Amino acid sequence: MTTMAAPQTLDALLDSIRARTARVGVIGLGYVGLPLVLLFEDAGFPVLGFDVDTKKTDMLNRGETYIRHIGRERIAKAFANERVFATADFDRLAECDAILICVPTPLGTHREPDLKYIRITAEQIALRLRPGQLIVLESTTYPGTTREELLPRFEARGLVCGRDFFLGFSPEREDPGNERFNTKNIPKVVGGIDAPSMSAAAELYGAIIDHIVPVSSPEVAESAKLLENIFRAVNIALVNEMKVVFERMGIDVWEVIDAAKTKPFGFMPFYPGPGLGGHCIPLDPFYLTWKAAETGTWARFIELAGEINTAMPRYVVDRTVEAVNQHGKSIVGATVLVMGLSYKPDIDDDRESPSFELIEMLQERGAAMSYCDPFVPVARRGRKHDLGLESIACTADAIGKYDAVVVSTPHTQFKDPALWSQVRLAVDTRNIVPRGVAGLDVVRA
Ligand SMILES: NC(=O)c1ccc[n+]([C@@H]2O[C@H](COP(=O)([O-])OP(=O)(O)OC[C@H]3O[C@@H](n4cnc5c(N)ncnc54)[C@H](O)[C@@H]3O)[C@@H](O)[C@H]2O)c1
Is the CB–ligand 1 distance for residue 408 below 6 Å? no
How would residue 33 be classed by pLDDT, with cut points 50, 70 and 90?
very high
Taking the CA of residue 29 as reference, the ligand 1 atom at the shortest distance is 39
Please answer whether residues 55 and 80 qualify as being in contact, where contact means their C-beta atoms are separated by less than 8 angstroms.
no
Q: Output the pLDDT for position 249.
A: 97
**CA 279 – ligand 1 centroid, Å:** 9
Q: Output the pLDDT for position 74.
A: 95
**CA 432 – ligand 1 centroid, Å:** 31
How would residue 358 be classed by pLDDT, with cut points 50, 70 and 90?
very high
Percent of the chain whose pLDDT exceeds 70: 99
pLDDT in tens, 12-23: 999 999 999 999
pLDDT in tens, 126-165: 999 999 999 999 999 999 999 999 999 999 999 999 999 9
Is the CB–ligand 1 distance for residue 32 below 6 Å? yes
pLDDT in tens, 180-216: 998 889 999 999 999 999 999 999 999 999 999 999 9
Position 83 pLDDT exceeds 90: yes
Q: Output the pLDDT for position 2.
A: 47
Q: Output the pLDDT for position 3.
A: 53
pLDDT in tens, 304-313: 999 999 999 9
Is the CB–ligand 1 distance for residue 279 below 6 Å? yes
Position 25 pLDDT exceeds 90: yes
Q: What is the mean pLDDT of residues 289-316?
A: 95
Q: Output the pLDDT for position 69.
A: 83
Is the CB–ligand 1 distance for residue 33 below 6 Å? yes
Query: 3-state secondary structure string, the chain?
Result: CCCCCCCCCHHHHHHHHHCCCCCEEEECCCCCHHHHHHHHHHCCCCEEEECCCHHHHHHHHCCCCCCCCCCHHHHHHHHHCCCEEEECCHHHHHHCCEEEECCCCCECCCCCECCHHHHHHHHHHHHHCCCCCEEEECCCCCCCHHHHHHHHHHHCCCCCECCCEEEEECCCCCCCCCCCCCCCCCCEEEEECCHHHHHHHHHHHHCCCCCEEEECCHHHHHHHHHHHHHHHHHHHHHHHHHHHHHHHCCCCHHHHHHHHCCCCCCCCCCCCCCCCCCCCCCCCHHHHHHHHHCCCCCCHHHHHHHHHHHHHHHHHHHHHHHHHHHCCCCCCCCEEEEECCCCCCCCCCCCCCHHHHHHHHHHHCCCEEEEECCCCCECCCCCCCCCCCECCCCCHHHHCCCCEEEECCCCHHHHCHHHHCCCCEEEECCCCCCCCCCCCEEEEC
Q: What is the mean pLDDT of residues 28-54?
A: 96
Which residues are 335's β-sheet partners? 368
Q: How far is CA 209 from CA 87, 185, 229, in A?
A: 25, 6, 21
Taking the CA of residue 121 as reference, the ligand 1 atom at the shortest distance is 31
Is the CB–ligand 1 distance for residue 56 below 6 Å? yes
Q: What is the mean pLDDT of residues 397-422?
A: 97
**CA 64 – ligand 1 centroid, Å:** 19
Position 1 pLDDT exceeds 70: no
pLDDT in tens, 217-249: 999 999 999 999 999 999 999 999 999 999 999
The CA distance from 215 to 442, in Å, is 49
280 part of the active site: yes
Check 96, 102, 280, 372 and give the catalytic one.
Answer: 280
Is the CB–ligand 1 distance for residue 50 below 6 Å? yes
Position 176 pLDDT exceeds 80: no
* pLDDT higher at 176 or 259: 259
Lowest average pLDDT, out of 282-291, 317-326, 377-386, goes to 377-386
Lowest average pLDDT, out of 52-56, 222-226, 374-378, 384-388, goes to 384-388
